[in-house]
Structure formats: structure tokens, C-alpha cells
Amino acid sequence: MATKVLVPRLGEGVDEVTITKWLKKEGDSVKELEPLLEVNTDKVDTEIPAPASGVILKIEMQEGQPAKVGQLLALIGAAGESASVSSAPGPSAPAASASAAKAELTPTAAPVTRASSADLGFISPVVAKIATERGIDLSQVPGTGLNGRITKNDVLNFVQTPPAKEAYHATRTVQHATPVVTPAQGDTLIKHTLIRKQIADHMVMSKSVSPHVLTVMEADMSKVSKHRAANKPIFERDGVNLTFTAYFMMAIVAGLKAFPTVNASWTDDGLLVHKAINIGMATSLGEDGLIVPVIKGADALSLLGMARTVNDLATRARSRKLQPDEVKGGTFTLTNHGISGSLFAMPIINQPQCGILGIGAMQKRAVVVDDAIAIRPMVYMSFVFDHRILDGASADWFLAKVKETLENWA
């Protein structure tokens, strides 16, 4: 009997993946645990191995399609065997995955299949049912789920808050008003990668959700630079590259501990202040975009531990070896746009966080110190915050604490 290949649970909170590449095609032979396909979740690519040896009888999900945990991907069996779903017992799986697979294969899921091929992306049976019963046009509802997916709460909020409903309509109108550009002779069309689409969707969603406000301060990095120069050889003996990023992370921790409301998320019921301090670190992937691995429990790390973690996550991010859990759960984000020479910028908040701190290029500049002109290594720090959560004063208090920590490093 044929064996089912189901979407495994790749980490806590990972309920849906996108099929990025099949490594085998129908009719190909495959060995147990041999890589069968690649899936993507939150910009992390993961290989799914074959659960059994045999021949690929049927591929149920195509590249580019979203698939939920437990959903049927393919069937593996003996050559010439019938590719019948009903005859495939499949490997043992957690109850949640099994029930999810059952839900996807029942006739009630038919509307979901039709919706998943539209611009809306994947629509669950619950969302589809609510929309049908209440006559809701889902194209007018902004999604806050994975990759912009519309959730049950998104639909219910749309129904219950008329003012927000009008805002949603206006937002969708603006988003769909992008001019159509037809390539002319000599133009080159570069197809969007999955990561680029995910970045675009998340950035547009963030700007439509949070009122972004920017405040900028500059910090004198003299003491940090001296400390780094003195300790870099010591850290290298432990196999750790002491970068300035580690110092910025430590300063952010100090700011978040002093002003916990910055380490929070907006909800309709109130401000959700997070106990854990998990700092995302925006990491460039070159032309492929960027990814934000998360330093979990950043407040428990020493400078050595922070530098080691920064090194590890940055290296594995660029080599595409992060795990799905390692890009989730962030409560604040740091982006070092100064690497490319930028002095200051206005980053976009990584939802559902309160803010993001951008660090510009460090430059030696003439500054006034004790009524005298001095040359100091200076950086601009651009803090973009959600004005629903913070006001100008509270945002500046946080940024001033980050500045103080850097300038008084001992």
C-alpha cells in the first residue's frame, strides 16, 4: 500500500509552508530519508525527506503552492501501484497533523482549494465559511497571518469594527492601484523570488498596520571602540569575532529593560508587554533579500555570549542553514544599514513588534566636547516606532538609554 508524504511540523507556530522545489518527479525512485522536496516558511528553506523507499506515484502539491501541516504532498509506493489516496495509510503522525490532513481531504475543503489558487492565497475552511455566511468580500480583508494569510480573527474584526472596515477598503484600493508596467523592447523581466514576495507583502502590511514615526540620535562610540580593540584578540582565542553588532545588541537590551513598553505588541484588548527579550538581527542575503534570525533570551547573555550568538546566526543565515524556529518570536529588531555606507534611514517595523533600530555607518566627525572641538567615531541611530504604543517622549527615553549605554561603556 502507498505511503503518504505529509507536511511535517517544522517548529512551534509553523502551521503552513510553501512548496519551493521538488527534488524528485512522478515516476522517480526514492530511498527512505532521501531529500524529496524543499519547502519555505518565513524565508527559511527546509528539505523534507522521503518517509519510505519506493517510486513517486503522485505529486499532490505543486511548486509555489501553500500547504498546511498534515496536508498531503505526495504518494510513494511500488512501481505500477495505484495512486489512490484512500488506499494510502501513511506513516504514523501526531494527532494534530493527522486531523489536519483529514480536514484537507474532505469535500468541505473544496472551496479552500479554489481560493488557494487566487490572489488571496490560502483560505481555511473556517474563514471561507464565515465569509460565505456573512457575505464578506475577502479581497477587502487584510491578512495578518503567515505570508499575509487571512485568519479567522481578521474576518471577525472586519465585521465587528465598521470604521476599520472603511480603512481596510481604502488600504486595499491603494494596494491594488499599482500601475501596470508593460516591458518594452530591450527590457528585462526578473521574476520575483519567493523571499522577495514575502518581504514585499510583510513590508506593505506593516506600513498599513502601524503608524510609523522616526526619531534619530547620534552616539559617540569612542569607549566601545577602545573596549573592542582591547578585547578582540581575547575573544578570538575563544573562536569569537567581536563585532560592533554585539555592543548594539547589549545596549538595546539595556534600553528594553529600562523601558519595557518598547518590548511590547499592540492588541485590540491592550498592550501585550513581552517577558522575554528576543532581538531580531536583520541579515542581508545579498540580492536574495534579507532574513531576521532571532536572539532568544538576549537579556541573559554576556558580551561574549552575545558575540558568539551573533556570529553563529549570521553565518548560518547566509549559508541558508537556519531552522524555522530561529526566525520566529522576535520582540524587537536591529538592522545595521550602515554596512553599505548609509548614515541614517527609516526602517520598517517588523510586525507585530513595537519598533526597529537602524544603525548607520560609523564615521569620525568633529564634535564639541567640553567646549572644545574633538574628533570622535560617531553613528546615527534611527529608531522607528509604532505611534499607537509609544509617544515621542517615551521613544526618546528608550533611545537615550541605548545611547547612554554605548557612550559609557566600561
Q: Which residues are known catalytic residues?
A: 387, 391
Q: What CA–CA distance (Å, rounded) separates 357 from 383? A: 5
Q: What CA–CA distance (Å, rounded) separates 78 from 57? A: 8
Contact 205, 381 (CB under 8 A): no
CA–CA distances in Å: residue 218 to residues 68, 100, 276, 404, 407:
46, 51, 28, 11, 10
What ranges make up the beta strands (E) of 2-43? 3-6, 16-22, 29-30, 35-41
344 residue type, one letter? F
Strand pairing partners for 257? none
Closest CA to 12 of 269, 278, 212: 278
Q: What CA–CA distance (Å, rounded) separates 121 from 385? A: 29
Q: Which residue has the cell 515621542?
A: 392
Q: What CA–CA distance (Å, rounded) separates 249 from 130? A: 44
Q: What CA–CA distance (Å, rounded) separates 298 from 309? A: 9
168 residue type, one letter? Y
User: Which three-class secondary structure state does DSSP give residue 24?
Assistant: coil
Q: What CA–CA distance (Å, rounded) separates 264 from 286? A: 30
Q: Which three cell numbers stand for residue 287?
A: 540580492
Per DSSP bridges, beta strands 271-273 and 264-266 are antiparallel
